[in-house]
Structure 1
Amino acid sequence: MERTSRKPTGKRTGKSFDTRDKYEKGDRKFGPKKPFNKFDDKNEDRAKSFVQRRKLNKIDKDLHKDTIRLNKYIANSGICSRREADELITQGLVQVNGVVITEMGYQVQKTDKVVFDGQGITPEKPVYVLLNKPKGYISTTKDEKARKTVMDLVANASPYRLFPVGRLDRTTTGVILLTNDGHLTKKLTHPSFNMKKIYHVTLDRKLDRADLNAIAEGIRLEEGVAEVDNISYIDGKPKNEVGIEIHIGWNRVVRRIFQKLGYEVESLDRVMFAGLTKKNVKRGYWRILTDLEVNNLKML
């Protein structure tokens, strides 16, 4: 039987087709009716539109080159993530220059004052430094009498400006935290959070058992009764050395407790603050907190 050639048929119409015929006729599926001309009116309009968009984008970038989105500003301050910052903004908990901002995408300038929970914040990378403070240094950022401050000891710890969390007397040694995280500073120093502090106290004479019990029950000072969480003699040490755990933050409270009973504090060393210790940190030296330690502080 003689074979005959047939053109392929379309699946839907059953009609024959030829790819070349379709292309020459200008079918959209197989090719344009006329060759592409990059200089025709339509493409020229597209080119103009593209150039205009680039100019607008450049103008927008120039306008915001010294600004930062509010949620990123908050996240960079170390308070929370950007997503959590968006929630804080929508809840009306953030102020910029005294005005509550609830707008998503709000741009903040470097000179703006941003306040969260009543505390000013900065978009700097949060830094947390633990210092084992020696004697002779005061716990302030600067001193009018040009005395040595703790800032002199941590001058190379961070490119950002740090602030001490709380204070230690000039003659008191031990753990002190410095940071640029204003929100955490407020949390750790506010009386309502009851941050625990442990001191190693060396007295001018042995501490009587009766006086130790009296301190444990509470000594009345000008502000009220100074409540002590724990006090005990230190194992292996003379009876003039005791450990005392306290949470109140009254000025010179530990020294005044013993002075009320007729003792003089010869040395006072803070060995623990908010769960942080000076272990493996020599006197006068510092270290950066680990991520775990920072997370623990924020969860307190």
Structure 2
Amino acid sequence: MRLDKYLADMDFGSRKEVKQLIKNKQVAVNSEIVTSDKFQVKEQEDSVTLEGDEVVYQKYFYYLLNKPAGVITATVDDFEATVLDIFSDQDFRSDLFPVGRLDKDTEGLLVITNDGALSHRLLSPKRHVEKEYLATVDGIMTSADIGLFSNGLKIDGGEVCLPAKLKIDQVDEANNVSTIRLVLHEGKFHQVKRMAHAVGKEVMYLKRIRMGHLYLDEQLDLGSYRELTEDEVKLLESK
């Protein structure tokens, strides 16, 4: 791999910017100053340093974010805070992006990565990767609703949803409120809210707790993130 690509991949600047770092004798390979941006580096074998600090090559980055309400699932926005604004300067990379989206007022599991192939696999309509949500709804969910969801519910606009698994965790008849979990195999716009509306209920609170085989870390505070472990990345790749 060319030295300028190595440094650009590690987000030390654009190819033009890292060429200048190399030209200014700020980069060494195996303790030897290198001034050619075309110098070939063995990314898993050579030791690369920038101004004396080691630059360890890592191609892909994977983070688990417990998204809070009030931020949008986007990489950049001129008016709204985005999920990437949560990242520290140390962890932020210009090539990071969220896998899929959660509504502004929805909380929970969001994967942030720069691995486009993994994102495509997780979001591909052909793969039907499960997403599980925890919701509080205004209204009493019933066994009849479970049947409607499992058969494939028609929502507004005439759209028909794929069969979904609805589980009623708790019913508070005095306050006319239900706590439910819903497993979807697709990602229509505002799908959970539209499905609840189709059976005469309204979502008051929504949180994603699972994507594929990866569950939200209960120890991860709302609005916090951490790197995925190797085992967790394998869980995502397994579906």
- Asked if the contact 1:202/1:267 (under 8 Å) is kept, the reply is yes
- Residue 64 (1) aligns with residue 38 (2): yes
1:274 is matched with which residue? 212
* Alpha carbons of structure 1 residues 63 and 226: separation in structure 2 relative to 1, 3 Å: closer
1:292 aligns with 2:225: no
> After the TM superposition, which residues 46-85 of structure 1 pair with which residues of structure 2 at under 5 Å, given as runs?
62=36, 64-65=38-39
Determine whether 1:245 maps to 2:178.
no
Query: In 1, are the aligned partners of 2:134 and 2:209 still within 8 Å (CA)?
Result: yes
Matched residues in 2 for 1:167 and 1:149: separation?
Answer: 11
Instruction: Report the equivalent of 1:158.
Output: 91
Change (3 A) 1:134 1:157: farther
Which deviations, in whole Å up to 9, do the C-alpha atoms of 1:160-202 show, x marking residues without a partner?
2310000000011110000011111111111112111111111
Does structure 1 residue 228 correspond to structure 2 residue 228? no
Query: Does residue 1:178 correspond to 2:117, yes or no?
Result: no
Change (3 A) 1:232 1:68: same
Quote the Cα distance in structure 2 between the aligned partners of 1:299 and 1:211: 31
Whole-Å separation in 1 of the counterparts to 2:58 and 2:82: 23
- What is the CA distance between 1:157 and its match in structure 2? 6.2
Distance 2:113 2:223 in 1: 17
CA distance in 1, matches of 2:151, 2:231: 35
Deviation at 1:223, TM superposition (A): 6.4
Give the aligned residue type for 2:81. Answer: K
- In structure 2, what residue type is equivalent to 1:152? D
Matched residues in 1 for 2:179 and 2:153: separation?
19
Seen in structure 2, the aligned counterparts of structure 1 residues 277 and 156 have a Cα distance that, compared at 3 Å, is farther
Change (3 A) 1:139 1:159: closer
Q: How far is 1:156 from its partner?
A: 4.2
- Quote the offset at 1:141 in angstroms: 0.6
Task: Return closer, same or farther for 1:63/1:167 CA change in 2, 3 Å cut-off.
Answer: closer
Which structure features the higher share of helix residues? 1
> C-alpha displacement at 1:207, in angstroms?
1.4
Q: Does the 8 A contact of 2:66 with 2:225 survive in 1?
A: yes
Q: Higher Cα Rg: structure 1 or 2? A: 1
Alpha-carbon RMSD:
2.6
| Letter matched to residue 223 of structure 2 | G
Q: Do the aligned partners of residues 292 and 249 (structure 1) sit closer, same or farther apart at CA in structure 2, a change above 3 Å counting?
A: same
**Larger RCO, structures 1/2 (Cα 8 Å, 6+ apart):** 2
Alpha-carbon offset, residue 286 of structure 1: 0.9
User: Aligned equivalents of 1:189 and 1:157: distance in 2?
Assistant: 28
Separation of aligned partners in 2, 1:229 and 1:214: 9
* Residue number among 97, 105, 128 corresponding to 1:194 in the alignment: 128
Shift of residue 152, structure 1, vs aligned partner = 1.2
For the Cα contact (< 8 Å) 1:228–1:244, is it kept in 2? no
**In structure 2, distance between residues paired with 1:294 and 1:138:** 24
SS in 1 for 2:110: strand
Unaligned runs of 5+ in 2: 1-34, 45-56
1:262 pairs, out of 200, 207, 214, with 200
Closer, same or farther: CA 157–230 of 1 in aligned 2, 3 Å:
farther
1:222-279 per-residue CA deviation (whole Å, 9 max, x = no partner) reads: 4642123311111x56461111101111111111111122211101110111222222
Query: How many equivalent pairs are there?
Result: 188
Structure 1 residues 156 and 220: alpha-carbon distance in aligned structure 2, compared to 1, 3 A threshold: same
Which of the residues 65, 73, 78 maps onto 1:139?
73
